[in-house]
Each structure stands twice: as structure tokens, then as C-alpha cells.
Structure 1
Amino acid sequence: MKINLQKLVYTALLLASGVLIPQLFHFGGPAAGTIFLPMHIPVLIGGLLLGPLYGAIIGVLSPALSFIIIGMPPVAILPFMIIELCIYGLVSGYLSTKTKLLYPVLISGMILSRAVYAGSLAIALYIFDMEKAAPLAVWTSFLKGLPGVAIQLVIIPPIVYALRRFALEKGNRKSEGTA
């Protein structure tokens, strides 16, 4: 496998963003992360710009590194976030290779990853003999994250379009010998 240094640098920047951005939201209280889903933003951007492999890597490592460095997300939520964010990065990255239409890619990635999150949460609750709490926990998790989903749908497309345009302009300058 050929290692792309530029993608590695962007991955590192998005990983750092995945650790730092949620900290800004935690000033609003501990529940702000579950409402606004700030860690999801760099993961989705990574998948959309860098592809499924790098998107999945950012999705797995962002919550893991954040937990190691800062202690958030809480250990009880960590495995579910790793699964969910891995799916976010993987699906958004894969679908972005099939189409450049951001909204269908974003919405598909969100639906699939939230469904996987809900399924893994429900399975864990059943394993720990808490099946009566499963529907409520899944529904609550979904509803609490709706403001974050709305924010993602508003801010991610302009960011991705701007970064794609920047990369295209940079590539054009390079091919013209002016970079």
C-alpha cells in the first residue's frame, strides 16, 4: 500500500480537530457533546475529502485519542462512538467516491452510522440484561443528536466545497509551475 504523505498530514489535522473541537462544546456542559455531535464533523470531512480508509481511521482514533488525552467520551460510551464514527468515516468516504453530491452522501452516512450506533447500543443493553431500557436509550440518543445533525448538514458542505476548490486551485497552480 502506497502511503500518501499529504493525506497523512490532513488525517493528523482532522484527528487533532476531532479531539479539540469537542472540548469547545464541553464549556456548554457535559451533555453538549451528545447534543451537538462535534466530534462527528472532522470525521465526516475526513471521509468526504480523503476517502473511506482515512475516514474510518479518523473515526476510530478521534474518540480513542480524546479518551486517552482528556477522558472524554466516557468509557461507557467510548466503544459505541468508535463504532459509529468509524461507520461515519467509512460510509461518507466510500459514497463520496461514487458521487460528488454531498447531501445524499452525508444523509446516507448519518442514517447508516446512527442505525449502527443504535443497534450496538441495543445489543449491549440486551447483553447486560437491560432490554427494557433499550428502546428508550436508542430513541433518546437519536433525538438528542438531532441538533448536531442539523449543524452538520449546514456547515459541512460549504467547508468541503471550499477545501475541494482550494485543492483544485493548488493543483492548477502546480501544473502551471506557479506553486
Structure 2
Amino acid sequence: MNHSKIKNLVGTGLCIALGLVFPQLFHAIGAGTVFLPMHIPVILCGLCFGWEFGLVCGIITPLFSSILTGMPPLFPTCVAMMFELGAYGALAGLLYRKLNLNLYLALIVAMLGGRVVSGVASAIFYGIAGKAYGFQLFLTGAFVSALPGIILQIIVLPLLVLALEKARVIEKPIMLELQTEGIEG
């Protein structure tokens, strides 16, 4: 196994661990649901290590948290969160590391995409559980109540990624350059 893959696996493990610890710390001060503490390490994992690692981190973290702490409740909340956080991690890594989008744009698109996945998954799983879930609940949970967490993510995550890149803890994404050889205009 090469050095880069080992670094990605270790970094993903660290992000999973942070995804288990952060919610406990935030819930201890009554700020768990508004600051979205599990989202931060999952999105960070995708931005730093790529879509595959972000996807795995996003699926495993809420499941481990549910099993170890009872939060979130396994069904329907945890199952819906596994889809949501998996989407956050995968989209962040895909957009920033693979498609070379600007860091801020990749983050915002990943956050929006994850919320769409969350709405669909929640509608399905809450429906199966016989619990009410509609567009009003989706908007309130995904955007209104989550606004402090959204702001925190938009401020903190780019700063962390840029600091890790500058310190050479992680590599900057390789930018695609357009080849214009042989094109005369």
C-alpha cells in the first residue's frame, strides 16, 4: 500500500473519530442540532481525501454513533443521515478533488446536494416508519434550524483545508489544464 493511500485511510479514520466526538461535545452544551457537528468532519474528509473516503466516512460515522451512543436513533434518523452524510462526503470530494471546482463552490454545491439527498431519504424512511415528514419540515431542518451550522461550515472548512494544504499535510488538487496545442484561432 502506498504512502498516499495510508495517509487517506488514517485521515478518514481521524475524521470518523471526530464525527463521533464532536456531537458529544456540542450536545453537552446544547448546540448539537444547530451546529451540525457530525457534518464538519465528514465534509472535511471528502475535501481532503477524495470522494470515496468521504462517502465511507459519511456512511460509517452516523452508524457508529448510533450504535455506540444511541444518537441518532437508528431508524429512521440514522439511516437517513447515512445517505445524507454519504452524499456530503462524496460530493465534496468529487467536486473539489476530482472535478477541480473552486473550494468554496465545491463546498456549497456539496452542502446543497447533501440536503436534497437528505430530503428524499428522510421522506422515504420517515414514511416507512409512519412518521410525518413534509416539505415544511425539510426546509426547517435543512436550512432554518441549520443556519448556524451552515455558516460555521462555510467559514471553518475552507480555512482548515487551505491550512492543511499549505502545511503540506494534504496535497492540493491537481488542476486540469486545457490543452490548446494545434488549435489556431
Q: Normalising TM by the smaller chain, what interval?
A: 0.7 to 0.9
Residue pairs, 1:167-178, within 5 angstroms: 167=168
CA deviation string 1:53-112 (max 9, x = no partner): 001011011111111222211223101111100000000000012225111000000001
Structure 2 counterpart of 1:136, one-letter code: Q
Structure 2 unaligned residues grouped into runs of 5+ = 172-185
Indicate the residue corresponding to 2:27 in structure 1: 26
The yes-or-no answer on 1:54 pairing with 2:35 is: no
The separation in 2 between residues aligned to 1:110 and 1:86, in whole angstroms, is 11
Identity percentage of aligned residues:
37
1:44–1:88 Cα contact (<8 Å) kept: yes
What is the Cα deviation at residue 6 of structure 1?
1.4
Q: Structure 1's 52 and 135: CA in aligned 2 closer, same or farther, altered over 3 A? A: same
Indicate the residue corresponding to 1:176 in structure 2: none
Residue pairs, 1:106-117, within 5 angstroms: 106-117=107-118
The separation in 2 between residues aligned to 1:129 and 1:64, in whole angstroms, is 21
The separation in 2 between residues aligned to 1:109 and 1:22, in whole angstroms, is 21
The separation in 2 between residues aligned to 1:34 and 1:69, in whole angstroms, is 18
CA deviation string 1:26-72 (max 9, x = no partner): 1123xx32211010111111101100000101101111111122221
Structure 1 unaligned residues grouped into runs of 5+ = 171-179
**TM-score for both structures, normalised by structure 1:** 0.84
- Cα RMSD of the aligned pairs, angstroms, is 2.2
The separation in 1 between residues aligned to 2:108 and 2:99, in whole angstroms, is 15
2:164–2:170 Cα contact (<8 Å) kept: no
- Greater shift, 93-102 or 111-120, is seen at 93-102
2:48–2:170 Cα contact (<8 Å) kept: no
Aligned residue pair count: 167
Indicate the residue corresponding to 2:80 in structure 1: 80
Q: Structure 1's 13 and 128: CA in aligned 2 closer, same or farther, altered over 3 A? A: closer
1:51–1:93 Cα contact (<8 Å) kept: yes
The separation in 2 between residues aligned to 1:61 and 1:11, in whole angstroms, is 10
